[in-house]
Amino acid sequence: MVIQAVVTPEWVKDAVFYQIFPDRFARSERVVKPNNLEPWDTPPTSYGFKGGDLLGIAERLDYLQDLGITAIYLNPIFQSASNHRYHTHDYYRVDPLLGGDAALRELLDAAHARGIRIILDGVFNHASRGFFQFNHILECGPQSPYLDWFIVKGFPLHAYDDKPPNYEAWINLHALPKLNTANPQVREFIFGVAEHWIAFGADGWRLDVPAEIDDDDFWREFRRRVKAINPDAYIVGEIWTEAQRWLQGDQFDAVMNYIQTHAAVRFFGARTLAPLWLGGTYPPPTPLDAQGFARDIEAMLALYDWQITLAQLNLLSSHDMPRFLTLVKGDQSALRMAMLFQMTMPGAPTVYYGDEIGLQGGYDPACRGAMPWDERQWDTALRDYIRAAIQLRHAHPALRRGTYRTALAEGELFAYERVYEGQRFAVTFNTAQTERQLRLSLAAPAQQATLTFGQGRAHIHNGTVVVTLPARTGAVWHIV
């Protein structure tokens, strides 16, 4: 039996992503909208619209390029009667409030001209009450030819009343009828949608709750269809836990790496954790020391083939959890260290829009606030730090593709080594409240340690690197 090598898109391994919630990032005057929009600078609500659009993103590409972003993950953009657009009405039409198909065309062309890739959010487990085939059943009842596109258990449908839905619905929400993916016509519909937008120019799909489609053959065929059009397309699933089932090289390229998110919040924010649920299956985080952090990270890195590990979508915040800075009660030192950690780890780091300027927000909808474009509201020092950390990653292939090895894990001190094609770096963290000394256990003796990022000093003692770091900081060292 020949074991096929796992192949993931090369570009992802060098990418830095930026996640955008389209209604809340930027609004263009070129997109005409209805009048009943919420003021941009008021707190977000569950049902209100701010009016952000795709041309607004296109007009802010200079900002993203200056930050160092090379890829964008867009939350859903297709026609929908919800501000988050996970309630899809028409999978073949970009929402008019976002500027329609023409706006996506302009955004893709402008981004690609700058070397920026864009992946779309694929919501294929469930549709909405406004989805044509479900609406057809609402109108025609059991006589609808589309009856078996969903799993209907009785009539009349309880789609808009207080009774439990008498059809399969995601987490029993009336508004989200589950598609019957056992139906060959439904499967072909979804595959056709996936093919259409990849052919249109999208660079991949982020798959919403894909475990809900409990069918490996479905996802294998999804992959075949997408990769046949663009072999470099990125397929990343929203799986919050270990995901070996989907990461054998025949389904997804990667998953959203919430395992790393959880560990990073607990270690870097150990002193200031807020009593907030992180999201998914994770309870409110509890403090983690360096030994526990090292164990969690090493276990995570051992889960999958190395090519998949290099393509993981790493993140610190998302639209589905309180923002990192809120989880650590505004502790900027925790966010800075976590960002440096993310930018020096295997996998593609992701900045959730606004995190770089100090945006905060708790549970949904607060974590989906509007991006302020008045720079007087920005924490520019934080943005400069994150920008510098991104540039550090771009400058050194070892921090993107190098091997990983723990070099120190004691109490509040943590360090690791990244090595690639003769380049060697040590990444060091002191999460304590006072200056501390770190004695690194590297794979081979060192002759010199040169500070590449951050603050601190180092000397060599009998081939061992000894680093002194200020309190609550991280630093990167070039080792020879």
Domain 10-125+181-395 shares a fold with domain 402-479: no
Supply the pLDDT for residue 1.
44
What order do you get walking across the sheet with 348-352 strand by strand?
254-255, 234-237, 204-207, 117-122, 71-74, 17-20, 348-352, 313-315
Tell which residue, 88, 95, 90, 82, has the closest CA to residue 53.
95
Q: Name the active-site residue from 59, 95, 203, 238.
A: 238
Tokens of 402: 């190098």
Supply the pLDDT for residue 242.
97
Supply the pLDDT for residue 430.
98
Supply the pLDDT for residue 294.
98
Q: Name the active-site residue from 95, 208, 253, 331.
A: 208
Distance between CA 96 and CA 99 in Å, rounded? Answer: 5
Domain boundaries, given as residue ranges, for the chain: 10-125+181-395, 402-479
Residue 469 bridge partners (DSSP): 436
Q: What class has domain 10-125+181-395?
A: alpha beta
Query: Does 148 qualify as catalytic in the annotation?
Result: no
Distance between CA 308 and CA 100 in Å, rounded? Answer: 34
The domain 402-479: what is its CATH number? Answer: 2.60.40.1180
Residue 78 bridge partners (DSSP): 94
Count other C-beta atoms under 10 Å from residue 272's C-beta. Answer: 14
Supply the pLDDT for residue 450.
98
Supply the pLDDT for residue 4.
72
DSSP string spanning 144-168?
Answer: -TTGGGB-B-SSS--SSSSSPPSB-
- Mark the ranges of the chain whose per-residue pLDDT is less than 50: 1-2
pLDDT tens per residue across span 394-411? 999 999 999 999 999 999
Query: Does 208 qualify as catalytic in the annotation?
Result: yes
Supply the pLDDT for residue 3.
54
